[in-house]
Structure 1
Amino acid sequence: MKSIVFLDIDGTLSLYEKIPPSALEAIRIARQNGHKVFINTGRVRSEMREMMDLDLDGFCLSAGTEIWIGGRRLLYHPMKDSIAKQIQEHIYSLHFGYTMEGSRISFTDSINRRLFKKLYQQDTRQILFHRRSLFPSVTDMQEEDFRQIMKVQINYYGILKPEVILDSLPKHLIWTTYSNTGGEITDSHYSKGTAIDFVKNYYGGNYRTISAGDSDNDISMLKASDESIGMGNATQSVKQIVTYVTDDVRNAGLYNAFAHFGLLD
């Protein structure tokens, strides 16, 4: 049986925006053998840059709200502009740093901009923080910009309960924490897991699905797959639920996992 493989980016496919040659070789051989390979990421399209140029079968972006297959966009579900504005006003009132992540272009506020600059100064390998620090200001957003917002990223300081962030916001929105001081607001109807269902339905039921991830925001994807891979550098909560734990991303983790599941035979 052929497989459809779904790969998280940071800590799975790449580290500090660099993809190990072994991972690229594994993808090349797997596709040559008739398997399909997708990126399945929380990143919005405007943050993909050269990743969109990779020779893959498709891309599941912004936590399942935008899906490209064979160079065509087949699913696109940005937030309603009124909801994006409502979130912005609410987060601004809480005095948190926030970034409005859009498919075409993203915007950040002054608090997040300072944080991104600080984090990049502390570790210059973190290229994404540098890129995010260069986003235009949320004060520059026009009406058309609000209509392409896929999710909202937030940073805060201290202890915070999710219900504070979601207070007064529409019930279909959810909060996902992915660091001690940050997370994102997304649409509960979409996730990395629903992206797998969409792609599998597109191709039909004759494929085995395999996903690979390293962090807690990959769990919906890992649970939705027939087989799942946890990287050697993955969190314990990921390692506890996956079918197979491979090596670290820096130590041919993806290549070894592809070999384990027979994708390179």
Structure 2
Amino acid sequence: MDPLVRVAHEDGTAVLTLDSPHNRNALSTRLVTELYAALEAAAGDTQVRAVLLTHTGGTFCAGADLGEAVHSAPADAARGLARLLRTIVELPKPVLAAVSGHVRAGGLGLLAACDVSAAGPQSTFAFTEARLGLAPAVISLPVLTRMEPRAAARYYLSGERFDAETAARTGLITLAGEPGRALEPVLAGIRRSSPQGLAESKALTTAAVLRAFDRDAERLAELSARLFGSAQAREGMTAFLERRDPEWAR
């Protein structure tokens, strides 16, 4: 099978491209497994100075693969996502994201885990979990450490879409603008920095996020599993897949 995460190397940067457009780069078990493996490989490659996460298609990541979630073990998926996000945060090399499409739910966790992210004017963002009978549980580990609290409360509760300017202003992403151009000076600076300097500097900026993982990861994984297994979530996910309103929205 063709990989769901394509790997390329450009001038000391490992470019990891989410390439599962048939389900809008949803976080299927296979995609999560491939992305984790690619990150681990980049961490051990002495030629790699930084990792750049990007995508094909009009969606960077749609969050959980709901078609798979209806039939899978929710606890395994929640812990797998927590492991992936922590890997991004702990990686001893900067992880950047270049987004030129839409981001929903779990995809926002990927962005919050990255050290630097840029999104273009065509990008939109939404925490859609509450509309499905769920909550942004595991992704809160990086998101609530990065994002302005009032903004997080509004968008967690309403599920509203917001644009890249709002995402940058509230701390969810770093830069709003054409992502390739916006990230050029960041990557140029990284290439001039030593591996030791990068690793230790990143550790300073991610310490609070890692404390959140140490304190809350298991509790939030259990919450996610409980919600995914609930009757309301089954109705919400089924309604989404059937393109209808859930019973509580009628």
Give the alignment's TM-score, normalised by structure 2.
0.33
Between Structure 1 and Structure 2, the one with more strand by share is: 1
Of structures 1 and 2, the one scoring higher in RCO (CA 8 A, sep 6+) is 1
Between Structure 1 and Structure 2, the one with more helix by share is: 2
Task: State which structure, 1 or 2, has the greater radius of gyration over its C-alpha atoms.
Answer: 1
